[in-house]
């Protein structure tokens, strides 16, 4: 009887520990959530034509003063379907700004590029100026 109680108690604690670890893994940093990163998440939304859901994840000069509809229209026309993988992260300001390096393959050519991300009102956002806009949405 004691062994059954012990096994039940042990199994219950192991399950609770595993579920808590999984939740913290999903949101370990603002850059990695739902087992992906910010740019890969935006690319998945782009491939599914969910441009309105992409809008809140951008900030910077290129989108300043634009309406949400105008940003969504710009994103709908942007080429963003290439294969890409996150290569590295460097923290610029602790828990506020990051430089993220990606590796991508376009027409058989592999190249790396960097983007800047910032935490704005508890949301990780891609800082989009004219240079980063042409780098990310390469034609």
What are the tens digits of pLDDT across the range 34-72? 667 888 889 999 999 999 999 999 999 999 999 999 999
What are the tens digits of pLDDT across the range 60-70? 999 999 999 99
The residue to which tokens 């704005």 are assigned: 120
Q: 63: which 2 tokens? A: 């989108």
- Average pLDDT on 100-108 reads 88
The answer, as to whether pTM is greater than 0.75, is no
Q: What is the mean pLDDT of the chain?
A: 80
What are the tens digits of pLDDT across the range 1-47? 655 544 444 444 444 444 444 444 344 566 666 667 888 889 999 99
> What pLDDT score does 33 carry?
61
The residue to which tokens 């940003």 are assigned: 71
């Amino acid at each position: 009887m004691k062994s059954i109680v012990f096994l039940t108690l042990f199994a219950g604690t192991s399950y609770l520990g595993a579920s808590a670890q999984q939740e913290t893994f999903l949101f370990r940093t603002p850059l990695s959530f739902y087992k992906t990163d910010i740019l890969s998440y935006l690319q998945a939304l782009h491939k599914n034509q969910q441009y309105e859901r992409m809008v809140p994840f951008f900030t910077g000069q290129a989108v300043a003063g634009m309406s949400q509809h105008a940003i969504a229209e710009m994103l709908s026309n942007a080429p963003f379907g290439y294969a890409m993988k996150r290569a590295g992260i460097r923290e610029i300001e602790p828990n506020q700004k990051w430089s993220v390096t990606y590796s991508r393959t376009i027409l058989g050519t592999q190249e790396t590029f960097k983007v800047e991300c910032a935490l704005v009102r508890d949301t990780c956002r891609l800082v989009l100026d004219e240079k980063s806009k042409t780098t990310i949405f390469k034609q």
